[in-house]
Amino acid sequence: MEWKANWICPPQPMGDVCPVYEKRFSLPSPVQKAVLLITAMGTYEAVLNGERVSGYVLAPGFTSYLKRHQVQEYDITAMLGAENTLRVTVGRGWYRSPMPGWLTPEEKSEKQNTPAGLTAQVVLTLCDGSKRTLCTDTSWGVAESPIRFSEIYDGEVYDARVIPSQFVPAQLLEHPTDCLIPQEGEEIREQERMKPLRVFTTPKGETVVDFGQEIAGYVEITLDAKAGDLVELSHGEVLDKEGNFYNENYRAAKAKLTYICRDGRQTYKPRLTFYGFRFVRVDAFPGQVHPSAFTAIVVHSQMKRTGDFSCSNVLLNQLFSNVIWSQKGNFLDIPTDCPQRDERLGWTGDAQVFIKTASYNYDVQRFFRKWLKDLAADQWENGAVSHVNPAWGAEGAGSSVWGDAAVICPWQLYLTYADKEVLQSQYESMTRYLGFIAGSTKEPDLWIGGFHYGDWLGLDADDREHPQVITPEMLSLGDNAEFYKGASRDDLIASAFYAYSTQLVIKIGKILGRDTGEYEASYERIRRAFQERFPEYHTQTEYVMAAYFDLAKDCQKAADDLAEMIIRDGTKLRTGFVGTAYVLHTLSRYGHTDLAYSLLLRQEYPSWLYPVTKGATTIWEHWDGIKPDGSFWSSDMNSFNHYAYGAVADWLYGVVTGINTVEEAPGFEKVLIAPQPDSRLQWAQASIQTRKGLVRSAWRQTQDGIRYEITVPSPAQIVIDGQTHSVAPGEYIFYSENRG
Ligand code: BGC
C-alpha cells in the first residue's frame, strides 16, 4: 500500500521496557473525518485522549512481517477535540519475542534487540475538504511506559507507579515500508469474561484460582492497594496428581503476570500479550485473595459461530464443547498448535487436519485466507512449505501432511464457502508444492525420502526401534521428531498425501479452467506406483491411508482389514495426528460404522472421551496427557489445548448427523444429508448456519424406529436407510423402521 510515514524508534535502546510514543496535536476547527493508520514491530496499544482507539487487541497480528505487515485503520473522528494526545505503547509481540522456543541464544538476542519500530499516519479531512496528514517522524516523543516487560511466552510486568514523562524525540528507523499491507485477517478481540469457579488452597499450600475452563486470553485484576504492593500470577492448565499447581509443560515459557500497584483502587489486565490457562497460582497478592478480584478474559479472532452439535451422550457433548474451546483458544490471529507453551505457532499439519471442523464451527474464511497468503509468501524457492506458518525465524520446511495444508486448506474453504477466489490466488502455491515433491523424491511418482513428521504422536510408536530416553540435545526439533512418530512408514504416508494433493489440484485446476493433463497423468502413475511399492499395510494409519485415499488395489479389503486390526488391538486406536483424522471416516465409508461408534464412544484410554472423563475442557495433544493414575505422560510435549484430535467433530457433523457439502455445488448450494444413527445414542442433532441458510439434521430413536428432522436451505439429497430422496429447500420429517 502507498505509505508516506517513516518508521520511528526510541533514540536509545530501552532493554525490556516497552516504549510509549506520543504525538500531541491541536485542531483549529472541527474535522469532517479523521483516521489513524498504524502498525508496529510488535503488538501495540494506541490510546487517544486517554481512550483506546479500538477494541482490536494484539494488533497488528501475526504475519510474515518482512513480506506482509498489516496496517490497521481506525476511524477516530469522534474521539478528537481541540487539543489531542495520541499515545502508542509497543510490546515485543510476535515480532520481537524470542520465539519459537528452540531458537539459539544468538537468534533470540537478535529478535530481542530489534528496535520497537512504529509507523503511523493521522489523516484529517477538514471541513473544507482539504486533507492534513500527521506522519510519524522525529516530532513524535518517546518515553518509558509502565510496561516494564512484555513477551508472548514469558508474559508481562507492569509498574503502575510509572507515569510516562520526559518524552524525548523519537529517532527515524531505517526499515522498509513496501511490506505494508492493509489489515486482511479478522480482528483479535476480547470475546468473553469469566469469573472464577473457585479459589482454593492446594496440598502444597498454594493459593489457586480456578476459572473452570481452559482459555486463551488474560486475567484482569481489581484491587485496593498501596503503591509498591505486588501481584504475581502464574498460569497453568491442569493440576498434578496430588492436586497441586502445575505448569512444567509450558517448558521455557514463563507465562507470568507481574503487577506493581499504585495507591488506591485499581484494575489491570495485560495489554500486549496473552496466556493459555485454566488455573492461576497467586504467588503474591496484597491482603486476602478474594475471587471477586479476578476475571478471565477470553481473547480470539473475530469469527462468527456457525456450527453446533449435541446428542444424548453427555460425555460426547463435553467433547464437542472441548473442540469449540480448543478452536477459540487457538484461533488467535493464526491457527496455532497450542496457546500456552513455548510454541504457539501456526503448525501447518495441525491446521490442515482441523480446518474442516473449524469451518463448520465458525466462519473462518477470512481468517484462513490471510494465513494462506503467508503460507505462499513463506514457501521456499523450491516450493517446500514451512512447517510453521508464518515461518518467522522457524527454520524447516517440506514435511508431507504438514505441507499439504497448501492444497487442503484452500480446497476446504471452497467446499464450505464456495470460495473460488482462494483457489485462484493459491493455485500457484499448490502447484509449486507438487513441484517440490516431484523434485525432491528419491523415486519418481512416489514421495520417498526427505524429512517428515510421519504419524506424529502415533500410539504405536513403541513398535519402532528407537531409544526410550529423550535427552535435552535431542530436543532440537529434527531429532526430536523421531521420538514422537508412530510406527507407520513415512514414505507410505508421504506418497498417499502426494496422491491426494495431486487429485485435489486436478479438481481445482478444472474449476479454474486450467490445463490439468500433466497432473492427471501424474496421478495415475502415483496410484500405480503406490500399489506396487506398498502392497501391504502394517499399522492402522497405513490401512487408513490406503483405503481413505482410494489407493489400495482393493479398498474395501483394506478397510475390512483395518477393522479387524482395530478389533485385534482391543477396539482401540493406535493412530497419531495423521491416522486419527481419517480413521472414523474410513470405517464408516466402508460399512464399519458400528466399529467407528465403538471407538468414538470408548471411555478408557486411549480414546476421545478418556480426557473428558479426566475433566478436560479442551482437546489434549496426547491421548494420555494425564494417565489413568493421574500422572503425566511427559512434561516435554504435553499440551492440554491442542485441537488436532478435535477433527473428530467433522465425523459428528458429517456422519452422525450426516451433514455434507457437495463438490459440484459447494458452499451448501446443494446439500447431502446422510445420517448414520447408532443405537447407543438416543438422539443427535447438528446445525450449520451456512451462507445459503440454516442446515439442520436431527434424529431420535422412538419406539417405532428412528424419526429424522431435516432442514435444508437449498436443493438436497437426503439418504435414509440407503434410499436417496431428492428434495427442494425446506423442512422434512422421515421415519425409518430400523433402529440404528
Ligand atoms: C507441535 C505440533 C506440531 C509438531 C510437529 C509440535 O511441537 O505442537 O502440534 O504439529 O510439533 O510435528
Whole-number Å distance, alpha carbon 644 to ligand 1 midpoint, is 10
- Angstrom distance (rounded) from CA 484 to CA 641: 18
Q: What is the pLDDT of residue 470?
A: 41
Which segments of 164-323 are extended strands (E)? 168-169, 171-173, 180-182, 188-194, 198-201, 207-225, 230-236, 238-239, 245-246, 256-260, 264-268, 275-284, 294-301, 307-311
Q: Which amino acid is it at 434?
A: L
Full 3-state SS string of 485-532: ECCCCHHHHHHHHHHHHHHHHHHHHHHCCCCCHHHHHHHHHHHHHHHH
- Angstrom distance (rounded) from CA 616 to CA 639: 12
Q: What is the pLDDT of residue 457?
A: 86
Average pLDDT over residues 277-300: 97
Closest C-alpha to 158, from 324, 286, 325, 18: 18
Residue with CA nearest ligand 1 atom 9: 337
DSSP string covering 66-117: TT-EEEEEEE-GGG--SEEEEEEEE--HHHHS--STT--HHHHHHHHTS---
pLDDT tens by residue, 156-167: 999 999 999 999
Handedness of CA 385, 390, 393, 394 (dihedral sign): negative
Average pLDDT over residues 319-328: 98
The grid cell for 645 is 484430535
Give 189's contacts (C-beta < 8 A, 6+ positions apart). 55, 56, 57, 299, 300, 301, 302
3-state SS assignment for residue 336: coil
Q: Is the CB of 309 under 6 A from ligand 1?
A: no
Looking at the predicted structure, is the pLDDT value of residue 739 above 80? no
Q: Is the CB of 653 under 6 A from ligand 1?
A: no
Q: What is the pLDDT of residue 464?
A: 60
Which segments of 302-415 are extended strands (E)? 307-311, 331-332, 334-335
As separate numbers, helices (DSSP H) first and strands (DSSP E) second, the chain gives: 16, 36
Whole-number Å distance, alpha carbon 347 to ligand 1 midpoint, is 6
Domains of the chain: 7-146+161-185 (2.60.120.260), 190-301 (2.60.120.260), 307-656 (1.50.10.10), 659-736 (2.60.420.10)
Which ligand 1 atom minimizes the distance to the CA of 338? 8
Task: Determine contact, residues 225/286, Cβ cutoff 8 Å.
Answer: yes
Cβ count within 10 A of residue 684? 25
Q: Is the CB of 643 under 6 A from ligand 1?
A: no
Looking at the predicted structure, is the pLDDT value of residue 475 above 90? no
Q: What is the pLDDT of residue 395?
A: 82
Task: Determine contact, residues 119/39, Cβ cutoff 8 Å.
Answer: yes
Given pLDDT bands bounded at 50, 70 and 90, which one contains residue 472?
Answer: very low
* DSSP β-ladder status, 198-201 and 207-225: antiparallel
**Catalytic one of 186, 214, 343, 542:** 343
Which segments of 323-435 are extended strands (E)? 331-332, 334-335
Residue 83 annotated among the catalytic residues of the structure = no
The grid cell for 621 is 495433544
3-state SS assignment for residue 5: coil
Give 480's contacts (C-beta < 8 A, 6+ positions apart). 470, 474
Instruction: Please tell me which of 452-456, 560-564, 636-640, 734-738 the model is most confident about, judged by mean pLDDT.
Output: 560-564
Whole-number Å distance, alpha carbon 337 to ligand 1 midpoint, is 7
List C-alpha distances in Å: 368 to 337, 355, 626.
15, 9, 32
Q: What is the pLDDT of residue 463?
A: 67
Give 150's contacts (C-beta < 8 A, 6+ positions apart). 18, 43, 91, 92, 93, 156, 157, 270, 271, 272, 273
Task: Determine contact, residues 601/564, Cβ cutoff 8 Å.
Answer: no
**Catalytic one of 190, 621, 663, 709:** 621
Order across the sheet with 83-90: list the strands.
51-52, 44-48, 83-90, 19-26, 141-144, 168-169
- Angstrom distance (rounded) from CA 77 to CA 91: 26
Tell me the pLDDT of the chain averaged across its residues.
95
Alpha carbon distance, N-terminus to C-terminus of the chain: 58
3-state SS assignment for residue 632: strand
Residue with CA nearest ligand 1 atom 11: 347
Given pLDDT bands bounded at 50, 70 and 90, which one contains residue 484?
Answer: confident
Which ligand 1 atom minimizes the distance to the CA of 348? 10
The grid cell for 437 is 515433491
Cβ count within 10 A of residue 175? 17
List C-alpha distances in Å: 97 to 113, 116, 152, 274, 342.
10, 11, 6, 13, 11
Q: What is the pLDDT of residue 477?
A: 42
Q: Is the CB of 658 under 6 A from ligand 1?
A: no
Average pLDDT over residues 450-459: 90
Residue with CA nearest ligand 1 atom 1: 337
- Planar angle of CA 486, 348, 635, nearest 5 degrees: 55
Looking at the predicted structure, is the pLDDT value of residue 711 above 90? yes
- Angstrom distance (rounded) from CA 461 to CA 464: 6
Whole-number Å distance, alpha carbon 478 to ligand 1 midpoint, is 11
pLDDT tens by residue, 718-729: 999 999 999 999
Residue 220 annotated among the catalytic residues of the structure = no
- Cell 489400495 belongs to residue: 552
- Planar angle of CA 667, 672, 675, nearest 5 degrees: 130
Given pLDDT bands bounded at 50, 70 and 90, which one contains residue 413?
Answer: very high
Residue with CA nearest ligand 1 atom 5: 453
Q: Is the CB of 250 under 6 A from ligand 1?
A: no
Q: Is the CB of 453 under 6 A from ligand 1?
A: yes
- Angstrom distance (rounded) from CA 476 to CA 394: 12
- Cell 480448543 belongs to residue: 326
- Angstrom distance (rounded) from CA 119 to CA 46: 12
Average pLDDT over residues 534-540: 96
In the chain, % of residues over pLDDT 70: 97
Whole-number Å distance, alpha carbon 232 to ligand 1 midpoint, is 30
Average pLDDT over residues 504-533: 98
Q: Which DSSP state fits 655?
A: I
Q: Of all helices (H) and strands (E), which one includes residue 47?
A: strand 44-48
Comparing 57-71, 228-242, 382-396, the range with the smallest average pLDDT is 382-396
Q: What is the pLDDT of residue 474?
A: 40
Task: Determine contact, residues 596/588, Cβ cutoff 8 Å.
Answer: yes
Q: Of all helices (H) and strands (E), which one includes residue 38?
A: strand 31-40
pLDDT tens by residue, 251-284: 999 999 999 999 999 999 999 999 999 999 999 9
Closest C-alpha to 500, from 531, 545, 543: 545
Pocket test for ligand 1, best of 385, 456, 620, 634 (most atoms within 8 A of CB): 456
CA atoms within 13 A on the CB side of 481: 13
- Angstrom distance (rounded) from CA 195 to CA 291: 8
Looking at the predicted structure, is the pLDDT value of residue 738 above 70? no
Pocket test for ligand 1, best of 343, 386, 621 (most atoms within 8 A of CB): 343
Given pLDDT bands bounded at 50, 70 and 90, which one contains residue 116?
Answer: very high
Residue with CA nearest ligand 1 atom 4: 347
Which ligand 1 atom minimizes the distance to the CA of 402? 10
Looking at the predicted structure, is the pLDDT value of residue 393 above 90? no
- Cell 506398498 belongs to residue: 534
The grid cell for 11 is 533514540
Q: Compare 10 and 472 and report the one with higher pLDDT.
A: 10
CA atoms within 13 A on the CB side of 501: 32
Which ligand 1 atom minimizes the distance to the CA of 453? 12
Looking at the predicted structure, is the pLDDT value of residue 479 above 50? no
- 250 exposure class (CB count in 10 Å sphere: 0-12, 13-18, 19+): buried
Average pLDDT over residues 501-518: 98
Given pLDDT bands bounded at 50, 70 and 90, which one contains residue 466?
Answer: very low
pLDDT tens by residue, 139-159: 999 999 999 999 999 999 999
Torsion of CA 382, 386, 391, 395, to 10 degrees: -80
Whole-number Å distance, alpha carbon 484 to ligand 1 midpoint, is 10
Which ligand 1 atom minimizes the distance to the CA of 481? 12
- Angstrom distance (rounded) from CA 285 to CA 229: 8
3-state SS assignment for residue 244: coil
Given pLDDT bands bounded at 50, 70 and 90, which one contains residue 476?
Answer: very low
Cβ count within 10 A of residue 106? 7
Q: Is the CB of 343 under 6 A from ligand 1?
A: yes
Whole-number Å distance, alpha carbon 70 to ligand 1 midpoint, is 26
Which ligand 1 atom minimizes the distance to the CA of 349? 10
Q: Is the CB of 151 under 6 A from ligand 1?
A: no
3-state SS assignment for residue 715: coil
- Cell 485522549 belongs to residue: 49
Pocket test for ligand 1, best of 99, 102, 347 (most atoms within 8 A of CB): 347
Q: Is the CB of 548 under 6 A from ligand 1?
A: no
Looking at the predicted structure, is the pLDDT value of residue 656 above 70? yes
- Angstrom distance (rounded) from CA 229 to CA 227: 6
- Angstrom distance (rounded) from CA 657 to CA 661: 13
Give 583's contacts (C-beta < 8 A, 6+ positions apart). 540, 541, 544, 562, 573, 575, 596, 599
Q: Of all helices (H) and strands (E), which one includes residue 377?
A: helix 365-378
